Structure 1
Amino acid sequence: MCINFLSRGFSLGLGVVFVQILDVFSTTRAQTSLMQSLCIGIIYTGAIICGPIVQKLGPATSVILGAVLSLGGCVGASFAPNVEVLIVTVGFITGFGLCLAYFSSYMVVSIVMTKHMSVGVSLISAGAKLGAFISPQLNRILLDAYGWRGAFLLLGGINFNMCVLGFTIRCLTKPLFLKKTSKGEPKPKSKPFNISVFKNVSYTIFVLCQLPIWTFYTGLPVFIVDIAENRGYSLEAASLLLSAFTVSGVVGSFLGGLMDTVLNIPALLSSAAALSVCGLLSFGLTYFDDHGAMVALMVGHGILIPVVNVCVPVIVHQLCGHAMYSSALSFFFGIAGIADICSGPVNGAIRDITGDYIMMFYLAGGVALFMGVVFLLLELWVRRGRSSLKDAHVSPETVNTKL
Structure 2
Amino acid sequence: MILGGARFLSGLLAGFLGDAFTTRPLIIFGSIVSALGVALCVFVKSIWVLHLTLGLIHGFGSGIVYSMNPIVISEHFIKHKAFAMGINYAGSTLGTFVFPKLLEYVVGLYGFRYAMLIFGGILFNSVAFSLFLRQPFWLNKRATVSNTPEICELGFQGPTEPFIISGSITGQVTSHNDKPNLIYRGLNIARLPMFYVVTFSFISFGLGYDCYNSLLVDFAIDKGIAKSKAVGMTSLCSVADLAGRLILPALTDRNLVKRSTLMILLLSLVGVLYIMLPYASECGYIFTLTLGLAALLGCGVVLFPVLLGEYVGLESIAMATGLMTSLSAVFSFTKPSIIGKPHPFTLV
Normalised to the residue count of structure 2, the TM-score between the two structures is 0.73
Q: Is the 8 A contact 2:79 2:253 kept in 1?
A: no
- Map Cα deviations across residues 292-316 of structure 1 (whole Å, 9 max, x no partner): 2222111101111233333324544
Q: Is the 8 A contact 1:256 1:311 kept in 2?
A: no
- Trace 1:16-27 onto structure 2 (pairs within 5 A): none
Instruction: State the structure with more CA Rg.
Output: 2
Amino acid at match of 2:103: N
Q: Is the 8 A contact 1:214 1:339 kept in 2?
A: no
Looking at structure 1, the residues matched to 90 and 214 of structure 2 have their Cα atoms a distance apart, in angstroms, of: 20
Q: Which residue of 2 aligns with 1:195?
A: 187
Asked if 1:293 corresponds to 2:293, the answer is: no
Q: Is the 8 A contact 1:44 1:333 kept in 2?
A: yes
Q: Which residue of 2 aligns with 1:151?
A: 115
- Name the CA shift for 1:200/1:63 in 2 (closer, same or farther; >3 Å): closer
Q: SS in structure 2 opposite 1:46?
A: helix
- Name the CA shift for 1:150/1:323 in 2 (closer, same or farther; >3 Å): closer
Looking at structure 1, the residues matched to 263 and 136 of structure 2 have their Cα atoms a distance apart, in angstroms, of: 41
Q: Which residue, out of 215, 221, 237, partners 1:245?
A: 237
- Name the CA shift for 1:194/1:140 in 2 (closer, same or farther; >3 Å): same
Asked if 1:130 corresponds to 2:94, the answer is: yes
Q: Is the 8 A contact 2:41 2:113 kept in 1?
A: yes
Q: Is the 8 A contact 1:109 1:117 kept in 2?
A: no
Deviation of 1:85 after TM superposition, in Å, equals 1.5
Q: Is the 8 A contact 2:15 2:319 kept in 1?
A: no
Q: Which residue of 2 aligns with 1:218?
A: 210
Instruction: Report percent identity of matched pairs.
Output: 20
Q: Is the 8 A contact 2:43 2:113 kept in 1?
A: yes
Q: Which has the higher strand share?
A: 2
- Map Cα deviations across residues 252-277 of structure 1 (whole Å, 9 max, x no partner): 12333234233542333222222222
Q: Which residue of 1 aligns with 2:64?
A: 100
Q: Is the 8 A contact 2:85 2:302 kept in 1?
A: no
Query: Once structures 1 and 2 are overlaid, which stretch shifts more, 236-245 or 185-194?
Result: 185-194
- Name the CA shift for 1:319/1:97 in 2 (closer, same or farther; >3 Å): closer
Q: CA RMSD in A?
A: 3.6
- Trace 1:296-375 onto structure 2 (pairs within 5 A): 296-316=288-308, 327-343=319-335, 345-349=336-340
Q: Is the 8 A contact 1:73 1:93 kept in 2?
A: yes
Amino acid at match of 2:339: G
Looking at structure 1, the residues matched to 316 and 17 of structure 2 have their Cα atoms a distance apart, in angstroms, of: 21
Q: SS in structure 2 opposite 1:289?
A: coil
Q: Is the 8 A contact 2:68 2:318 kept in 1?
A: no
Consecutive unaligned residues in structure 1, runs of 5 or more: 1-33, 356-403
Query: Once structures 1 and 2 are overlaid, which stretch shifts more, 123-132 or 322-331?
Result: 322-331
Asked if 1:261 corresponds to 2:225, the answer is: no
- Map Cα deviations across residues 325-344 of structure 1 (whole Å, 9 max, x no partner): 5544442333345444532x
Amino acid at match of 1:258: A
Query: Once structures 1 and 2 are overlaid, which stretch shifts more, 38-47 or 230-239?
Result: 38-47
Q: Is the 8 A contact 2:74 2:309 kept in 1?
A: no
Looking at structure 2, the residues matched to 108 and 100 of structure 1 have their Cα atoms a distance apart, in angstroms, of: 12
Q: Is the 8 A contact 2:23 2:72 kept in 1?
A: yes
Q: Is the 8 A contact 2:244 2:295 kept in 1?
A: yes
Q: Which has the higher helix share?
A: 1
Normalised to the residue count of structure 1, the TM-score between the two structures is 0.65
Asked if 1:70 corresponds to 2:30, the answer is: no
Consecutive unaligned residues in structure 2, runs of 5 or more: 146-172, 344-348
Looking at structure 2, the residues matched to 47 and 234 of structure 1 have their Cα atoms a distance apart, in angstroms, of: 37
Looking at structure 2, the residues matched to 254 and 232 of structure 1 have their Cα atoms a distance apart, in angstroms, of: 33
Higher-RCO chain (CA-CA 8 Å, sequence separation at least 6):
2
